[in-house]
Structure 1
Amino acid sequence: MMTSKEFWTKKTLIGLGLGQFLSLLITSTGFSSSELSKKGIDAPTSQSFLNYVFLAIVYGSIMLNRKQPLKSKWYYYVLLGLVDVEANFLVVKAYQYTSITSVMLLDCWSIPSVMLLTWVFLKTKYRYRKITGVAVCIAGLITVVFSDVHAGDRAGGSNPRKGDVLVVAGATLYAVSNVSEEFLVKTADRIELMSMLGLFGAIISAIQVSILERDNLKSIHWSAGAALPFVGFSVAMFLFYSLVPILLKTNGSTMLNLSLLTSDMWAVIIRIFAYHEKVDWMYFLAFAAVSVGLVIYSGGDKEEDHRADVADEEAGSGSHNYGTTEGSLKTGETSSSFLESEVVENKGKDAQWKL
């Protein structure tokens, strides 16, 4: 049996706190996207474009100042940028067809996706306590589905089924992005990852905007009411992308994606206090269940445990989920650990090749 001191380790507390801050950032991006959708602005790639530009400018400047060669292959970042851009595109596009709550709930598909990817490609091992924590988190979220209030919310949107399909597809890409990000942040570093993701993400986004959204952007009547959520989305995403690698490196992508499950509950809390809405009591039950699951999953984690026994946690980065990413991609939303410290050198090349 663990003592209280052994359970509430420094890494556990940092993971829980940082995870919930990232969840709040995702909640803010959800409100921004929903607000833009209500105003008739259909430019999902354009929303993410500014975020990639910010990443490229800020972290690219640091990279240039360091004058060091890349630690990972440049084409890995091209593929990561492509996957991340399309994950963001699909999930943001879904807001045109379904409700914000549906998007946030279905985005949890990134969790089993990330766990499967890390198990297959990174040989991740999960202990029963970790699996129990994941099960409790997902059970808490499923509770909301049976709420009458939530059932009414899901009915919103012009084409809920199409929106749900887009979310699931985006969540899957977030999982790929999260696993790749966590691998790269381990083999390279956070600055290189953010700068290269920003560079190639901006290039790919610019190409996609010119092909798919040029006419939509021209037809938009920009005003303070439209520009504010647009810029707010980009700033929140920049902060999210900047902090995700930290959580991925310390607690892993499964922890990231589990933390993002509470974004739906934070949205409910905001609606209660900001808009004075009444919500079903099952939302609070779900929030409590997800919180308990997070504590079960992360409780007692130590650095040595994280490397040896939870190789899954360090290997996965979210999303969006995002992360996406951190995921995360969903940014999803997003996973697991990395390779055991004893076999990193021997297995690293093989895992890298598979990715």
Structure 2
Amino acid sequence: MVAFNGLFTKKTLFGLFFGQILSLFITSTGFSLSELARRGINAPTSQSLANYVLLAIVYGGILISRRNGMKAKWYYYLLLGLVDVEANYLVVKAYQYTSLTSVMLLDCWSIPCVILLTWFFLKTSYRFKKIMGVVICVAGIVLVIFSDVHASDHSQSGSNPVKGDLLVIAGATLYAVCNVSEEFFTKTADQVELLAMLGLFGAIFSGIQISVFEREELKSIHWSSGAVLQYAGFAAAMFLFYSGVPVLLKISGSTMLNLSLLTSDMWSVLIRILVYLEKVDWIYFVAFAAVAVGLVVYSLFDKEGDESRGDNVELAISKHFDEEADVAGRLS
């Protein structure tokens, strides 16, 4: 079934819509983080722990109830859990040293990293119109950056901008590795298995990191009822975001995921306008429109078979995982 005179498939339209749902979840986590920071709570790893625990309990329970062997080896997920924890930690930590403008700009580094990694490892092909869609999306974010340069943010460069910028670049690179790895496991193994093991190892590594780096910080925090509610809201939004990511990765891939998340800053601006009645620069609306156009251009004529070379690779690896699981089942 093809809609809009063949420009979009139903799968593509769902990918565009669902990508914005995930972007709104990221927006809500940003508001929760801001409120927690305002209350003096600055413990990046501790704030992510509840999400990993929820993933391990919910999807781990489903995985156990199935009584089936795992498709992929556990140590692959161990490495993924470590990379995911450190990516979250580095980007949140960077806010202490550099400006919001720098974080927004440098976080876009994950997009070319994702394109390179999917092309090299997953054999994903990118036609010219897809590259043009990416360029338009990034151009929209650059408009926001130029707008912020004229706002108060440019004078607040942070205590150590160079250190903060390096943290963002490192975190964005690790995010790209995580997204491409999750796309790989989503398409070749199992979504429930991925989320369960990511939650398990993410919780383990978070617990270790908290005991080493954030133990004293947690002792000094006063957990009021408002702070607890904000923490719970952050954990719930992160859980829903992580739960939805494999769905979009399976449908549209990790590049589309990263492009969709570019609109999270725009959604936060709209919420500030509608809820807090704040006035913002008109350029934000132009930027939002540019990102939206870029997403549409990236998705144009996104028919089945466009990336058949990557599909063949994924099919072969999925078959290999199935054979490994059968062998392990017979041995047990």
Aligned twin of 1:336? none
Mapping 1:38-53, distance limit 5 Å: 38-53=38-53
TM-score (norm 2): 0.90
Is the CA contact 1:143–1:282 (under 8 Å) kept in the aligned structure 2?
Answer: yes
Q: 2:46, 2:317 → 1: CA distance?
A: 42
Q: Does 1:121 align with 2:121?
A: yes
Distance change >3 Å, CA 232–CA 96, structure 1 → 2: farther
TM-score (norm 1): 0.84
Is the CA contact 2:113–2:173 (under 8 Å) kept in the aligned structure 1?
Answer: yes
Distance change >3 Å, CA 23–CA 344, structure 1 → 2: same
Aligned twin of 1:257? 258
Is the CA contact 1:54–1:198 (under 8 Å) kept in the aligned structure 2?
Answer: yes
What is the Cα deviation at residue 148 of structure 1? 4.9
Is the CA contact 1:77–1:197 (under 8 Å) kept in the aligned structure 2?
Answer: yes
Is the CA contact 1:145–1:151 (under 8 Å) kept in the aligned structure 2?
Answer: no
Aligned residue among 330, 334, 341 for 2:312: 341
Give the number of equivalent residue pairs: 319
Is the CA contact 1:118–1:179 (under 8 Å) kept in the aligned structure 2?
Answer: yes
Q: 2:8, 2:240 → 1: CA distance?
A: 27
Aligned twin of 1:300? 301
Aligned twin of 1:330? none
Distance change >3 Å, CA 229–CA 167, structure 1 → 2: farther
Q: In proportion to residue count, which structure has more helix?
A: 2
Write out per-residue CA displacement over residues 162-219 of structure 1, whole angstroms, 9 at most, x where no aligned residue.
Answer: 3332222111100000111111111111000000000011011011111111111111
Q: Which runs of 5+ in 2 are unaligned?
A: 321-332
Write out per-residue CA displacement over residues 275-309 of structure 1, whole angstroms, 9 at most, x where no aligned residue.
Answer: 2211111111110000000001012222333x42x
Report the secondary structure of 2:108's partner residue: helix
Is the CA contact 1:37–1:96 (under 8 Å) kept in the aligned structure 2?
Answer: no
What is the Cα deviation at residue 4 of structure 1? 2.9
Distance change >3 Å, CA 200–CA 147, structure 1 → 2: same
Distance change >3 Å, CA 119–CA 299, structure 1 → 2: same
Distance change >3 Å, CA 201–CA 284, structure 1 → 2: same
1:238 is aligned with what amino acid? F
Write out per-residue CA displacement over residues 112-142 of structure 1, whole angstroms, 9 at most, x where no aligned residue.
Answer: 1111112222232210111010011111111
1:145 is aligned with what amino acid? I
Mapping 1:168-317, distance limit 5 Å: 168-305=169-306, 307-308=307-308
2:279 is aligned with what amino acid? K
Q: Does 1:164 align with 2:165?
A: yes
Is the CA contact 1:60–1:195 (under 8 Å) kept in the aligned structure 2?
Answer: yes
Is the CA contact 1:178–1:253 (under 8 Å) kept in the aligned structure 2?
Answer: yes
Is the CA contact 2:136–2:291 (under 8 Å) kept in the aligned structure 1?
Answer: yes
Q: 2:311, 2:118 → 1: CA distance?
A: 13
What is the Cα deviation at residue 109 of structure 1? 1.2
1:345 is aligned with what amino acid? A
Is the CA contact 1:45–1:85 (under 8 Å) kept in the aligned structure 2?
Answer: yes
Report the secondary structure of 2:6's partner residue: helix
Aligned twin of 1:35? 35
Q: Percent identity?
A: 66
Q: 1:150, 1:186 → 2: CA distance?
A: 44
- Higher relative CO (Cα under 8 Å, sequence separation at least 6) belongs to 2
Is the CA contact 2:81–2:202 (under 8 Å) kept in the aligned structure 1?
Answer: yes
Q: Could you say what the CA RMSD is over the residues aligned between the two structures, in angstroms?
A: 2.2
Question: Greater Rg, structure 1 or structure 2?
Answer: 2
Distance change >3 Å, CA 225–CA 241, structure 1 → 2: same
Is the CA contact 2:25–2:241 (under 8 Å) kept in the aligned structure 1?
Answer: yes
Distance change >3 Å, CA 172–CA 155, structure 1 → 2: farther
